[in-house]
Amino acid sequence: MHTLMCLIHLQFIYMKKNILTIFALLIGILSFSQTFEEYKKSQESKFKSFKEKRDQELKEFISNEENWNLITIDTKGNVKENIEKTSSPDEEKKEEQKTMVKQEEPNKNKNVPIPNYVNLKIKETSNKDIDYHHPLKNSKFRLSSPFGFRIHPIYKTKRFHSGLDYAANKGVPIFSIDNGNVIRAGVARGYGNYMVIDHGNGLKSAYAHMSVMSVKKGDLIKKGDKIGEVGMSGAATGNHLHFEIIKNNKKVNPKTYI
């Protein structure tokens, strides 16, 4: 009987040790699991911060380049058939007659009026032969940043400035430099309210940071028409007009045109 009691006692001690061992093992597993979760969260937080930093750097890079690739605008087919391109009075007269015939033919069986843009001409000639209208004519302004390399006023690094900056009060009217067709009018990264006008003969003019845009995409306008007002939308440190000239899809110095 005594031997049996001893065996039972020893068995109880053995089971107790096993239970303690299992309990300690469970505590170790739980502790490791908690530590692993903390490490996982820490790594996820670091990766998220790294990703946000790289995304911000990418956005700044795109903004700093001032949308250089925005000039690849789809202008194919945007220039209306009824905008004449003339080179001499005789040819002008012939083209006017052709335009009138084209306008009359669709109306033989319909009473639908067709807009007449015969008097809105885009002449094919060199820029030296054209007296372009200054975009801020008859207003007070100053040239605050020329065309070419400069230290960017916001990012403080050397960047290529693809136009001319004219500092002026908010609300100063902006005019089209010549007859043309508005092929872009909307918000662009860095440029804010941004407009591009196709003047024909491979020439376009662009206007940025406007507070107000007075015309929309597809509008046909004349030289000297008001197209908007000076502002500081987009990446700007003050009210000004960023003005560009694009010749054959390449940005050139506007000083040679106005």
Where is average pLDDT lowest: 46-50, 137-141, 199-203, 249-253? 46-50
In order, the DSSP letters of 111-159 are: -------TT-B-----GGG--PPPTTTTS--EEEE-SEEEE-TTT-SEE
Helix (H) or strand (E) holding 198: strand 192-200
What is the pLDDT confidence band of residue 202, given thresholds at 50, 70 and 90? very high
CA of residue 34 relative to chain centroid, distance: 47
What is the pLDDT confidence band of residue 206, given thresholds at 50, 70 and 90? very high
Instruction: Look at the block and give the residue holding tokens 């069986």.
Output: 109
The span from the CA of 38 to the CA of 244, in Å, is 54
CA–CA distances in Å: residue 80 to residues 32, 181, 228:
73, 8, 23
As a whole number, mean pLDDT of residues 20-42 equals: 74
Query: What is the percent of the chain with per-residue pLDDT over 90, rounded to a whole number?
Result: 38
234: left (phi over 0), alpha (psi -120 to 50) or beta: left
Contact 195, 182 (CB under 8 A): yes
CATH class of 65-78+132-256: mainly beta
249: left (phi over 0), alpha (psi -120 to 50) or beta: left
As a whole number, mean pLDDT of residues 5-33 equals: 68
DSSP category for residue 163 = S
Residue range 104-163, pLDDT digits in tens: 444 444 444 444 433 444 444 444 456 899 999 999 999 998 998 888 877 778 889 889
This prediction's pTM = 0.51
The span from the CA of 100 to the CA of 79, in Å, is 18
* Residue (of 152, 159, 150, 155) closest to 56 by Cα position: 155
The pLDDT value given to residue 91: 57
pLDDT at position 198 over 70:
yes
Please list, in sequence order, all residues whose beta carbon lies within 8 angstroms of the beta carbon of residue 173, skipping any fewer than 6 positions away.
136, 139, 226, 228, 229, 230
The span from the CA of 184 to the CA of 181, in Å, is 9
As a whole number, mean pLDDT of residues 21-38 equals: 74
pLDDT at position 205 over 80:
yes
Residue range 60-114, pLDDT digits in tens: 666 655 544 444 444 334 434 334 444 445 555 555 555 554 554 444 444 444 4
Please list, in sequence order, all residues whose beta carbon lies within 8 angstroms of the beta carbon of residue 191, skipping any fewer than 6 positions away.
66, 67, 70, 208, 209, 234, 235, 242
Q: What are the tokens at 246? A: 């694009």
pLDDT at position 21 over 70:
yes
Residue range 212-250, pLDDT digits in tens: 999 999 999 999 999 999 999 998 989 999 999 999 999
The span from the CA of 85 to the CA of 103, in Å, is 17
